[in-house]
Amino acid sequence: MSDPVNSTILLLDIEKYSDRDDVEQSYLRRMLFDLTDHALLAAGIEETLRRRADRGDSVMELIDSNASLTALLRTLLTVVPAELRARNRLASSSARMRLRGVVATGYVAVDREDGWVGSDLNHACRLLDAEVLRQALRESPGDFVLCVSEPVYLGVVQHNHPGVAAEEFHAVTVDSKNGALPARLHRPLSQAEASGTPDTRSPARDLPADSAPRAAFDFGGATVNGGTFGGTNHGIGGGSFHGDIHLGGALGERA
């Protein structure tokens, strides 16, 4: 077995792969490999900087740690969704490909049978298989969801590099054999969240009719909310009024 080497770990998995027949699975595999190659080249990662393992319905890539992790994340958040959207637009439902993705870092060794070994790789695989990621894809209007390990978030994402918005990555916890595994799930901000648009609803309009605030009136420094005043009243606009003055509420009600 080789010595463990620090690498970037990229995992991509096809949703509902086992539901397809052999012809459809073969097509989806070719589509996955082609998309992965295209995305990595777009991120500036040449074939000499990566090593692939075929897992049937998923692909695993070990990427040289000197390759730009920021460029990889940026590509996964932009190029991959666009490519999937274009490819799936005219595809039948059986040929449509939706993906879960994980990016992690860690030390991985390769044995004589080309098997990959390492606890960091195990953690990445558990993130890929996590229900929270599967549920996110089921609920997503798009065709791709991404989860990153906590070290990736702390080392790269939280610094808000161009094209990688930290506020779009939300903390999640995945249960594993070795205990709770923290990670970050990507969810794009809504248009209102992104623009910081305040809630413009009128508070009074949203209150029940009987709880709407009443207007306040100032009588020589004393403020009165609603109520009825009888007799002669002075000091309102410089004049005098006789009789009752009703200030909101039901007649006879006192403030």
pLDDT tens per residue, range 108-156? 998 887 788 899 999 999 999 999 999 999 999 999 999 999 999 999 9
* 120, 224: one domain: no
Q: What is the pLDDT of residue 61?
A: 96
| DSSP three-state, residue 74 | helix
* 29, 153: one domain: yes
**Could you give the CA distance from residue 101 to residue 145 in angstroms, rounded to a whole number?**
6
Residue 138 lies in a domain: yes
**Could you give the CA distance from residue 188 to residue 169 in angstroms, rounded to a whole number?**
8
Contact 90, 96 (CB under 8 A): no
Pairing of strands 5-14, 99-110: antiparallel
Domain tally, the chain:
2
Q: Give the CATH number, domain containing residue 191.
A: 3.30.70.1230
| DSSP three-state, residue 150 | helix
Q: Of all residues in the chain, what percent carry a pLDDT higher than 90?
A: 60
**Could you give the CA distance from residue 84 to residue 142 in angstroms, rounded to a whole number?**
9
pTM above 0.75, yes or no: no
Contact 116, 53 (CB under 8 A): yes
Residue 82 lies in a domain: yes
Higher per-residue pLDDT: 83 or 209: 83
- Write out pLDDT tens, residues 168-224: 999 999 987 778 899 999 998 655 555 555 444 444 444 344 444 444 444 444 444
The boundaries of the domain holding residue 208 are 203-246
**Could you give the CA distance from residue 71 to residue 164 in angstroms, rounded to a whole number?**
9
* 51, 28: one domain: yes
* 191, 207: one domain: no
Q: How many residues are listed for the chain in this entry?
A: 255
User: Side chain identity at 48, as an amino acid letter?
Assistant: T
**Could you give the CA distance from residue 155 to residue 158 in angstroms, rounded to a whole number?**
7
Q: What is the pLDDT of residue 216?
A: 45
Using the structure block, give the residue that is written with the tokens 């054999």: 177
Q: What is the pLDDT of residue 42?
A: 96
- Among 65, 187, 38, smallest CA distance to 120 is for 65
Q: What is the pLDDT of residue 193?
A: 52
* 188, 216: one domain: no
Average pLDDT of the chain is 81
* 28, 47: one domain: yes
Read off the DSSP letter of residue 181: E
Whether the predicted pLDDT of 36 surpasses 60? yes
What tokens appear for 139 in the block?
């609920």
Distances from the Cα of 146 to the Cα of 134, 165, 226, angstroms: 10, 13, 57
Residue 83 lies in a domain: yes
